[in-house]
Chain A
Amino acid sequence: MKVSRRDLLVGGAGVTAGFLFTPVPWKLLGDVSIWTQNWPWIPQPAHGPVDTKQSACTLCAAGCGIRVRMAAGWPVGISGVKTNPMTKGTLCPLGFAAHQLNWHPQRLREVRHRGRTASWADAQTAFEKACTEGPVAIFDGRPGRAASSVLQAFAAKHNGSYRVVPSPETQALTPYADWSGVPVSALGYDLENARTIVSFGASLLDGWGTPGRFTHLWSEKAAGATDPQLRLLQIEPTLSRSAARAWRWIPIREGSEGALATGLARVLLEERLVATQSPMAPMTLEDAAAQTGLGTEAIRDLARTLVEQRPTLVIAADGNPAIAALNHLLGAVGSPGGIALKSKPNLSHVRPQPNIGPNRAVLLDSSVPWDFVPETTAEVFRFAAWDGGSSKADWLLPSPGFLEELTDVPTAPTSAVDTYAVSVNLIQQSEEVKNTAQFLAKIDSTLPDVEKLIHSRCEEIFGAKLGMVFAEQQTPVTKFESAQKLEEQLRQGAIWMGNPPKPGGFRCILQEWPARTAPSHTSDWAAAWLPPVLPPLAAKLYQESNLRDVPARREV
């Protein structure tokens, strides 16, 4: 029998139709998709014993409690710690996936000098040379850590300057520090006792402060309620995620926050809604209305709302003194539900220097946000675990990634109570990375050691006999047999919390209503920088992925 071309085509059609009634196409589709998940260049966790460790997140200064699931010694999952008194089991989205960041394609694993591969020895030689040729400025993004003490010590010994890059939360507390003389590191927000919170653009529900702290509070006292226990008033130009969930959103013109605060102060004083003695705000209500885009009656209504359900706490997104002065007027400074003085200002506070001056070199610790761009002609040495792109640094120095280094986690910037935690290196640090303290110790072996500093801080806490240690159970510090036992607990992921703030203790003296209605900016590039409320990598990822509105994108 002769097989024609048409026979072949018809037979082929039969085969094709027949295959559709077999598992072949469907099973192959599924298997191929699984095969693509297992390509050799995709990192896979090793098979091995599964273990759970507890630690503190180091992505930002909040230091949320994390429970890390380890497989064969590698972190494979992160969740919150319910026993953590600050975060109560809540984490930000980035924290949940932080263990993946070590595998990020932009992870830095080699020293780079102006875009070319270099060695640690080259970097060390260049920095040593710079130290001998002129002053060096060392920048720290998270002051108060043991590593910060190493940076400070190096700067002091080598005729350099130690500078802190303040977080926006810290900047917002600066006016109170200026008016009271209390260091900003000793101040915090008593959110838990406030009944009305007025946010002037602070992203309270979107990464502000310790992310879990306010989110948890809001879900307990405000979420879904028409007359909530905790009223959140969000004042900002755009309908941000915080504004969308707020009890009331008050849209105003970009940059008119200070004018609104001044207008509100005028109403509070004119209508005698507050008992506090304060100088009269210089701006008229009509001027404030014209600047903000709100009507005068709307400002009057808002002022009355501020005193309806007290204590009322005002939170600014930056160091705008006019907004901070509202808290003084509302009697929220040093009182429950207001600006709190922590039990013991135990951490060293370094006030920003007014001018940075000429430097031979600038060294940026890995805690400095990536978008803090040094506008200087000095040679820049930047430590970072990830390359955020478009770096102006002369030297990019790979630092340990997430959970790859031993560090301590001092009190978060917004906390009303002192805390202390230790984050141990759950992953072995590879030889190709070094943190700033290790780098400086190679140059000057007399510098203090981070491990010893952590030990001495644990001894300080043990010696003070104050506060509690929160692990599975809560243990007062007085119950610990030794500082070593306390340190062991902290290294296993417990957190020490000092005594809650007592009312009073400090007060602000306001001679005149702040003339400025915007944060001060100096000609110093370092002081003029506006920080994002995000860890370095997240700042870049969030802004580029349009997950967060940055000031430049805001429109009325």
Chain B
Amino acid sequence: MRRYLLVFGFGFALALIVGWVAFPRALYVSRQQPLDFYHKTHAEKSGLTQCDSCHVLGSDGTFSGIPRMEVCAGCHTDKLGTSQSEAVLVESYLKPARETPWLVYSRQPANVWFSHAIHTRRAGLACTDCHGNYGESDETRVYQQNRISSYSRDIWGHSISRLRRAPHDGMKMTDCESCHRRHKVEVGCLGCHQ
């Protein structure tokens, strides 16, 4: 009997190790961004300290998202440094006028409608409430892509258990719902899924 308990316990422990340690590593594949980009460097050298300096929210509520190449071209008409990324930016994207195929950490499915204008202007949320304090990052984060769903790990959140997370960790529907519940804002299904 004791032997069977040991065997059962071994199997149980093995599953726990695989499930909690190996599975998250196997589930996500790491992908590099096409260029290195440092928010901190841009803030320090160009004085673009506010998020909306580059991620522009239009007066009509439209949101630019990641700036298009013409915004980058405002400063990077020529190489501003000797880094490899700078050379790639100018030669591969700016000169041929191609958009950089950034891997967007917060990309949501196509059936999700989200208005930055409503959340920042009407609800008064800060960018960091959802995106974290990446404006001060001095590294380019590796983009971790879910092998099955193909979405970024930032959507599920970095904690596989989704327990004891930072407030901005995770952008699942349940995260939206819990925030709406906290702020007593009812939007219904069509509020986000139009």
Contact = CB atoms under 8 A, between A and B. Distances in A.
A45 interface: yes
Contact of B27 (A19, A27, A44, A45): A27
A51 interface: yes
A10 interface: yes
B23 A23 contact: yes
Given A28-B148, A37-B109, A50-B63, A18 B7 contact: no
B15 interface: yes
A466 B60 CA distance: 31
A417 B150 CA distance: 53
A252 B17 CA distance: 72
A14 B15 contact: yes
Contacts of A28: 148
A434 B84 CA distance: 51
Contacts of A7: 3-4, 7
Nearest to B111: A37
Contacts of A19: 15, 18-19
A240 to B, nearest CB: 25
Contacts of A32: 148
A52 interface: yes
Given A11-B10, A31-B149, A18 B23 contact: no
Interface residues of B, number: 36
Interface residues of A, number: 36
A93 to B, nearest CB: 11
Nearest to A79: B194
Contacts, number: 102
A14 B11 contact: yes
Interface string B59-103: 010111000100000000000000000000000000000000000
Contacts of B109: 34, 37-38
Nearest to A77: B194
A552 interface: no
Contacts of B12: 14-15, 17-18
B160 A18 contact: no
A23 B161 contact: yes
Contacts of A6: 4
Residue picked from B3, B110, B150, most chain A C-beta under 10 Å = B110
A9 to B, nearest CB: 9
Interface in A420-468: none
Interface string B128-156: 00000000000000000010111100001
Contacts of B7: 7, 10-11, 14
A35 interface: yes
Chain A binding site: helix, strand, loop or mixed by DSSP? helix
B179 interface: no
Nearest to A24: B19
A50 B14 contact: no
Residue picked from A16, A18, A23, A30, most chain B C-beta under 10 Å = A18
Nearest to A78: B194
B15 A16 contact: yes
Contacts of A16: 11, 15
A520 interface: no
A13 B11 contact: yes
B16 interface: yes
A7 B30 CA distance: 38
Contact of B15 (A15, A51, A77): A15
B13 interface: yes
Given A10-B4, A17-B15, A77 B62 contact: no
Contact of A15 (B14, B149, B151): B14
B23 A34 contact: no
Interface in A1-60: 6-7, 10-19, 21-24, 27-28, 30-32, 34-35, 37-38, 44-45, 49-52
A11 B11 contact: yes
Nearest to B150: A38
A44 B148 contact: no
A512 to B, nearest CB: 53
A38 B145 CA distance: 14
Contact of A22 (B20, B110, B148): B20
B8 A13 contact: yes
A35 B8 contact: no
Nearest to A28: B148
A12 B111 CA distance: 40
B155 to A, nearest CB: 9
A10 B14 CA distance: 13
A54 B92 CA distance: 37
Contacts of B18: 19, 22, 24
Given A18-B13, A31-B146, A32-B148, A23 B4 contact: no
Nearest to A3: B7
Contacts of A30: 149
Given A19-B19, A22-B20, A23-B20, A14 B8 contact: yes
Interface in B34-64: 60, 62-64
Given A23-B20, A28-B148, A52 B62 contact: yes
B167 interface: no
Contacts of A51: 62
A375 B20 CA distance: 69
Given A22-B19, A31-B146, A52 B13 contact: no
A259 to B, nearest CB: 44
A225 B3 CA distance: 75
Contacts of A12: 11
Contacts of B23: 22-24, 27
Given A15-B12, A34-B148, A76-B110, 11 more contacts: A7-B7, A11-B10, A13-B11, A23-B23, A23-B161, A24-B23, A30-B149, A31-B146, A34-B151, A35-B150, A49-B62
8 contacts: A14-B8, A15-B14, A17-B8, A22-B16, A32-B148, A34-B149, A49-B62, A77-B194
